[in-house]
């Protein structure tokens, strides 16, 4: 089970925003890949801290958590920490990567989040707001990393190639090796006058509220890619994408299979025997069905074009399939028993004494 978010960060329930942020940064830095390169629990610990910080640093989600606990967070857009690479996650908060990767990548990494919607929202389409913590382009320097009035210059160590070539003598001759230039971080350019806001990286930690348009008919687990809303690149390099995975909360009355919807409705023994017109609750509209005379328990009635909309289907929809369940009364009045016994006589069931007339009728209705 998840631990209480306040216990995870080691703060009291009345802690202020500054105290929460300070506690998170203190605990999270201890999980840095360079500090604990061989600790197998480091990644899980950091993801636990990140999840707690995401909830408690937002006033809306914190209020819901304080009042209702974990149940209050259901349906809220939350970062999908479990499926986010550790390096990307750490970079999103601190801009740091492990020593093995430092200087090897300029483009921003993709980021992942998940959002949960209802089945009806999946049918109609919906706009969802998510809160995104990421490294965004620096507003002060425009992402260049240089202070106002200055610009980056060619790295003198690598001549702008971003690589350092070294030669060493061995018993089989000279061996040449190529490695990323440490001075410029493999960018080929250095910042002589770095921006004070971003310290020359061209990107800063930022929290943004992003609107996600979820199309009608989307299915469980489908993903929406938002271009350029992932981690910002270093010094103006391309940003990564934000990939939002959509989860659909199970409905109490309707079950989805592809674009078809399934529901169950109960009919009485007389309705099944004589036929009836009934109203059933669909997803987008209520609809009437005709139960044919002599219907059996488990029979289905298919209503064309009353299911889920098809993504990009030009308004086409799947079907609604209604499963019939025949209800046999548990208690009968004296008169009702007389009527059923008369029916049993008419059906020829009265000669068999091993079952009651009601049981015979039930067997007949079930076929």
Whether residue 353 is predicted with pLDDT greater than 50 in this model: the reply is no
pLDDT at 30: 75
Residue 45: which residues within 8 A CB-CB, separation 6 or more?
A: 31
pLDDT at 275: 92
What are the structural domains of the chain? 1-74 (1.10.287.110), 255-366 (2.60.260.20)
- What average pLDDT does range 257-263 have in this prediction? 93
Instruction: Report d(CA 236, CA 356) in Å as an integer.
Output: 83
Closest CA relative to residue 232, chosen from 134, 125, 117, 316: 134
Tokens of 7: 């216990």
pLDDT at 85: 63
pLDDT tens-digit readout, 160-216: 888 887 766 644 445 567 777 877 877 788 888 989 888 888 888 888 899 999 999
Residue 364 phi, psi (nearest 5): -65, -40
pLDDT at 96: 42
pLDDT tens-digit readout, 203-248: 888 888 999 999 999 999 999 999 999 999 888 889 999 999 999 9
The pTM is what? 0.61
Tokens of 314: 């030009």
- Work out the angle between the directed axes of helices 334-347 and 357-366 (0-180°, nearest 10): 60
Q: pLDDT grade, residue 51 (50/70/90)?
A: confident
Closest CA relative to residue 239, chosen from 257, 225, 218: 225
pLDDT at 216: 93
Whether residue 364 is predicted with pLDDT greater than 60 in this model: the reply is no
Instruction: Report d(CA 212, CA 224) in Å as an integer.
Output: 8
pLDDT tens-digit readout, 302-313: 999 999 999 877
Q: pLDDT grade, residue 28 (50/70/90)?
A: confident
pLDDT at 157: 86
Tokens of 65: 């958590």
Closest CA relative to residue 139, chosen from 95, 208, 195: 195
Q: pLDDT grade, residue 256 (50/70/90)?
A: very high
* Dihedral over Cα of 134, 136, 139, 145: its sign: positive
Percent of the chain with pLDDT over 70: 81
pLDDT at 267: 92
**Partner residues linked to 168 by β-bridges:** 175
Whether residue 99 is predicted with pLDDT greater than 50 in this model: the reply is no
Whether residue 89 is predicted with pLDDT greater than 90 in this model: the reply is no
Instruction: Report d(CA 327, CA 340) in Å as an integer.
Output: 15
Q: pLDDT grade, residue 345 (50/70/90)?
A: confident
Percent of the chain with pLDDT over 90: 35
Would you say 49 and 43 are in contact if contact means Cβ atoms under 8 Å apart?
no
- Contacts by 169-175, CB closer than 8 A, 24 or more apart: none
pLDDT at 259: 93
Would you say 287 and 280 are in contact if contact means Cβ atoms under 8 Å apart?
yes
Whether residue 50 is predicted with pLDDT greater than 90 in this model: the reply is no
């Amino acid at each position: 089970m998840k631990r209480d978010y306040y216990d995870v960060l080691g703060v009291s329930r009345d802690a202020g925003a500054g105290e929460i942020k300070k506690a998170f940064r203190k605990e999270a830095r201890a999980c840095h890949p360079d500090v604990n390169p061989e600790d197998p629990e480091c990644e899980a610990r950091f993801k636990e801290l990140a999840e707690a910080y995401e909830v408690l640093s937002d006033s809306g989600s914190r209020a819901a958590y304080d009042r209702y606990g974990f149940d209050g967070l259901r349906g809220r857009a939350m970062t999908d920490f479990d499926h986010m690479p550790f390096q990307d996650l750490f970079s999103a908060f601190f801009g740091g990567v492990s020593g093995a990767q430092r200087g090897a990548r300029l483009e921003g990494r993709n980021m992942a989040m998940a959002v949960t919607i209802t089945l009806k929202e999946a049918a109609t389409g919906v706009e969802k707001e998510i809160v995104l913590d990421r490294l965004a382009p620096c507003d002060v320097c425009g992402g260049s990393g240089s202070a106002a009035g200055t610009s980056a210059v060619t790295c003198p160590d690598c001549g702008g190639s971003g690589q350092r070539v070294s030669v060493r003598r061995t018993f089989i001759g000279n061996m040449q090796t190529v490695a990323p230039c440490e001075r410029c971080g493999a960018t080929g350019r250095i910042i002589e006058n770095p921006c004070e806001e971003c310290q020359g990286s061209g990107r800063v930690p930022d929290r943004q509220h992003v609107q996600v348009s979820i199309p009608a008919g989307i299915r469980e687990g489908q993903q929406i890619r938002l271009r350029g809303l992932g981690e910002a690149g270093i010094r103006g390099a391309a940003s990564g994408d934000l990939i939002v995975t959509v989860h659909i909360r199970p409905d109490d009355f309707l079950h989805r299979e592809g674009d078809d919807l399934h529901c169950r409705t109960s009919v009485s023994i007389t309705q099944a025997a004589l036929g009836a017109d009934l109203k059933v609750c669909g997803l987008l509209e209520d609809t009437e069905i005709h139960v044919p005379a002599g219907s059996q328990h488990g029979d289905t009635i298919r209503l064309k074009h009353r299911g889920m909309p098809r993504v990009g289907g030009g308004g086409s929809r799947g079907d609604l399939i209604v499963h019939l369940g025949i209800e046999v009364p548990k208690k009968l009045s004296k008169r009702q028993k007389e009527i059923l016994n008369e029916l049993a006589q008419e059906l020829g069931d009265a000669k068999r004494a091993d079952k009651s007339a009601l049981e015979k009728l039930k067997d007949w209705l079930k076929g």
